[in-house]
Structure 1
Amino acid sequence: MNKENFITGYPGHESEHRAAMKKVLGQENYEFFFDKWLEYFFTDADAVFFASLGLNALRLPFNYRHFEDDMNPRVLKGEGFKHLDRVIDLVDKAKTGWHSDNHSSWASFWDYKYHQDCYNPINEPCDPEHVRLPAFYQRLERPSVPDHILWLDGNTFAMEFVGFEPLVSGPTKLPNTAYSNHDYNSMGFPSGDAYLGTDEQKSRLEKSFRRKAEWMAKYDVPCWNGEFGPVYSIHEKDEAAKKINEQRYNMLAEQLNIYDKHAIPWSIWLYKDIGLQGMIYTDPESKWNRTIAPSLQIKVDAQLDAWGSYPGASMESVMAPLVAELEKVNPDAKDEYPTPWNVECHVRRAVLQTFLSRTLSDKFAQQFSGMGKEELEECAKSFHFDQCKKRDGLNDILRDHAKLSHA
């Protein structure tokens, strides 16, 4: 219920994508399409498959805009619970992320108390002052069910916990609370080194995880690895792609060994998308994938997505001299928060992932122009479990690991 752009292929941010789709489809067809998309994205078949792998925790993201309109705040939209309740019921029957839809580079969350009042615990927060996030967590009201656990992400993409000490000690200690880190590694992405399973690389993987989880170990509080996982290629007949995918499956398997060693529970990211990272993904020949193919190629060539973008000579020939000039003007620009980012990351976020992506939202939506309900439903149904492909290499590892964990 909170779509990142790489999951379905649109450029930019979800609110821009939805606005563009409404403009092209009209209110009635717009509501019809997105309702069908949510319906088909997770069905009883998905819940049964997830449980069949032996997995027992499903992390369900949702956008507050399903429950409240920005222009009609504090008025609960009852219809927003339709698909949230439906998925929870399906998962119960089967017994089994900063992705805030912000279309600018300004994290206004931290500057408005009202914004904080309207949010539940948040995914991958980035507070440059390192004090407002712990303060926000302290303001959270306990759920009506006292045994309900709060899972709180660390700061800076859930990688560090500076300033969190008041939450775990003294009178301000939060009861029944666990803390979550996210454990992505560059070796699982196109820009990183290939994972060959060397002792040095295994050591790097473990050191990276321990650095992100050391705060929880120090204060002896529960730790949950809330996200991890590499990206993959869907070019199944390409031998080079097969080799890359095999390397990344091996890396993920080693990460699972590390989590077992340290007795850390986890949830993988993510379950379903159009082919970059999901456990299952839409068929490249599906109505959805064929419809968005021209737009998707533009995104790939222009490196518009922050997640999993592939290096390309054309865009990098433009970015490299711009970044070099900016660093010449201000060598300290590299120290701008978030700390894991360099100058190029900031430029890409402002120019490619925000500005250029926003200008392409209408072009993406125009690909659906003239479609009636039948075609729109066919597009949405591309995400139905029965029409998707399974990433067997990944799912086999998860299934085998679950068997060992339950043994």
Structure 2
Amino acid sequence: MAPSTPKACLRVEGTDIVDGNGSRIILKGCATGGHTNMENFITGYPGHESEMRAAMLEVLGQEKYDFFFDKFLDYFFQPADAKFLASLGLNCVRIPINHRHFMDDLNPSVIKPEGFRLIDKIVKICADEGLYTIIDMHTFPGGQNQGWHSDSGIHKALFWDFKDFQDRMTNLWVEIAKHYKGNTWVAGYNPMNEPADPKHTNLQAWYKRVEKAIREADPDHILFLDGNTYAMDFTAFKEVLPNCVYAIHDYATMGFPAGQPYVGTAEQKAVLQKTYERKVQFMKQHKVPIWNGEFGPVYASPEEEGHETINQQRYDLIGEQLRIYKKDEISWSIWLYKDIGFQGMLYCSSDTPYMKLLKPFLEKKKRLGLDKWGRDDKHVKHIWEPVVAHLKEEIPEKFLNKRYPQHWRIEGHVHRVMRETLFSEILTWEYASYFEGKTLEELDELAASFKFENCIQRKGLNEILRADAEKVSV
């Protein structure tokens, strides 16, 4: 039996999210990253989505290009996926979106109906299983941050420098708000993923502007507002906007290859608690709800030595994080639902056509450490350490870490420009070459590698999520 439709939109009441009956709702779920916003480590291409798509179009031609990506978008998230998430007791799915599904950069004033058809399908599939959805805008023209996942193709966030970009995205949000007005299965809108505004003031101005514009079109839905500097910094936030939930992202370095292994010491637990408390200070001070929109470690692959021990440490880490969140009864959305093996609750089987085809390229990309997410530099450390050392030697110390975001340090900026942008962009053509000459039938099989039934469940992670999740009755 299909769940009954909620009679009203969720709303903010004090420190809580409540439903139409005034009953508190704690949203617990995951994000469909890599789907309507593709990312390099999630599906295996290098660099940025728009570059990858351009290379694929060059290799496949328009007909096969459209066929492959239509099939990929169809197969990646289907009713079986929503049913699985509901079976774990989760109640919410965050939908990260690339703005290009709704607009072409050369014709930005025209909103494409294809974008709505794509997101409508996901919202309905989730609603049929009693899952709320949060619509998240993950990319912006010019880039709202300096990372690969803003799909800008560069290492600067130009969105903040051009009013035209800001106008375009405000207008897009108005159209989205008009479209989903009254849809009570949509928990709300996440207007901007991981903003990184170097001046810390442009973000506040845009939030005020887009909040006002959205409310004029849709006065009811919650807005989920990320903090600045990749949803980690609220120090420049001075006021609380109405019916808004404030969002952190709470990744722990102990969950990544370059980080200290998590063994559950009192000191490590204290670090997790202190980091979380710093991020939520604004919310606690102003007594507003907290949403952790992203968190979660990466996992070692079966061919890695000691992978079982490593992965158990990371399961223990996420378990400790969930215990911290449980004390404050906050809402959360883990990153990530599905991928090729780094972080997902599900991942493509190595026996699928996609994984077999790209095996040599994925091994090369891993050896080169091109993706920022979860890379291990042991094979290329001898190349990059001298580059960083040279810059440190030549740049005066007071300027060395002046470039925003400062927490990347000079190492992070070198890797962003040289590896994740230049090197990866060139290798995009090599990735696309693997698809050359494929028939429609073969392309269909490659895309179908991401179907639920062709994926492996990461049981250790999913059981932890199941144990924490609370089933919501609506």
TM-score in same-fold range (> 0.5): yes
Kindly provide the amino acid, as one letter, of the partner of residue 68 in structure 1.
Answer: M
In the alignment, what sits opposite 2:364? 298
TM-score (norm 2): 0.82
Q: What is the deviation of 1:345? A: 0.3
User: Who is 1:324 aligned against?
Assistant: 389
Q: Which residue of 2 aligns with 1:102?
A: 152
| Distance (whole Å) between structure 2 residues aligned to residue 284 and residue 391 of structure 1 | 14
Counterpart of 2:420 in structure 1 is 353
Q: Which residue of 126, 132, 157 corresponds with 2:196?
A: 126
Kept in 2: contact 1:10–1:17 (CA 8 A): yes
Task: Kindly indicate whether residue 57 of structure 2 is the aligned counterpart of residue 22 of structure 1.
Answer: yes
Residues 42, 87 of structure 1: 8 Å contact kept: yes
Structure 1 SS opposite 2:214: coil
How many Å separate the matches in 1 of 2:471 and 2:219? 33
**Does 2:286 align with 1:219?**
yes
User: What's the CA shift string for 1:118-153, capped at 9, x where partnerless?
Assistant: 235211111111111111101111243312001111
Deviations 1:337-378 (A, max 9, x none): 102111110000000000000000111000000001100010
The answer as to whether partners of 1:280 and 1:388 remain within 8 angstroms in 2 is yes
- Shift in Å at residue 102 of structure 1? 1.0
Say whether the 8 Å CA contact 2:80–2:452 is kept in structure 1. Answer: yes
Q: In structure 2, what is the equivalent of residue 171 of structure 1?
A: none
Q: CA deviation at 1:328?
A: 1.7
For 2:335, what is the secondary structure of its paired residue?
Answer: coil
- Give the Cα separation in 1 of the matches to 2:332 and 2:104: 33
Counterpart selection for 1:157 from 230, 243, 258:
230
Aligned partner of 2:29 in structure 1 is none
Residues 327, 334 of structure 1: 8 Å contact kept: no
Distance 1:27 1:131 in 2: 42
- Closer/same/farther in 2, CA of residues 188 and 226 from structure 1, 3 Å limit: same
Q: 1:115 aligns with which of 165, 168, 191?
A: 165
Q: Does residue 45 in structure 1 map to residue 80 in structure 2?
A: yes
Of 416, 424, 431 in structure 2, the residue corresponding to residue 364 of structure 1 is: 431
Of 195, 208, 217, the residue aligned with 1:138 is: 208
Q: Which runs of 5+ in 2 are unaligned?
A: 1-35, 132-137, 139-144, 174-190
CA contact (8 A) 2:59 2:432 kept: yes
Any idea what the Cα deviations from partners look like across 1:308-330, whole Å, max 9, x if unmatched? Answer: 111224x2111111111111221
SS at match of 2:377: coil
Alignment of structure 1 residues 186-225 onto 2, 5 Å: 186-225=253-292
CA drift of 1:238 comes to 5.5
- My pick for the range that moved more, 377-386 or 144-153, is 144-153
Instruction: Determine helix, strand or coil for the equivalent of 1:341.
Output: helix
Q: Distance in 1 between matches of 2:405 and 2:129?
A: 40
Q: How many residues align?
A: 398
Q: Which of the residues 150, 175, 179 maps onto 2:246? A: 179
More helix by share: 1
Deviation of the 1:159 alpha carbon: 0.3
Letter in 2 for 1:255: Q
Select the residue among 249, 268, 287 that pairs with 2:315: 249
Distance 2:218 2:386 in 1: 56
After TM superposition, give the deviation of residue 333 of structure 1 in Å.
1.7
Instruction: Report SS of the residue matched to 2:401.
Output: helix
After superposition, where does 1:333-348 map in structure 2 within 5 Å? 333-348=400-415
Q: How does 1:274-289 map to 2 (within 5 A)?
A: 274-289=340-355
* C-alpha separation in 1, matches of 2:352 and 2:168: 38
RMSD: 1.5
How far does the alpha carbon of each residue in 1:165-195 deviate from its partner, in whole angstroms, 9 at most, with x for none? 0x32xxxxx2111110100010000000111
Residues 91 and 471, structure 2, Cα contact 8 Å, conserved in 1: no
Deviation at 1:231, TM superposition (A): 0.3
**C-alpha separation in 1, matches of 2:116 and 2:359:** 32
Alpha-carbon distance, 1:12 to partner: 0.2
Task: Give the letter for the 2:44 counterpart.
Answer: G
Q: Report how far residue 107 of structure 1 moved.
A: 1.1
Q: Secondary structure at the match of 2:150?
A: coil
> Unpaired segments of 5 or more residues in structure 1?
169-173
Cα contact 1:5–1:305 (8 A) shared by 2? yes
- Judge which range, 120-129 or 84-93, deviates more: 120-129
SS in 1 for 2:107: coil
Determine the C-alpha separation between the residues in 2 that align with 1:80 and 1:150.
20
Distance 1:251 1:273 in 2: 20
Question: Deviation of residue 405 (structure 1)?
Answer: 9.7
Aligned to 1:89: 124
Identity of aligned residues (%): 49
Which runs of at least 4 in structure 1 moved beyond 3 Å after TM superposition?
Answer: 403-406
Is 2:134 the partner of 1:61? no
Q: Give the SS at the match of 1:25.
A: helix
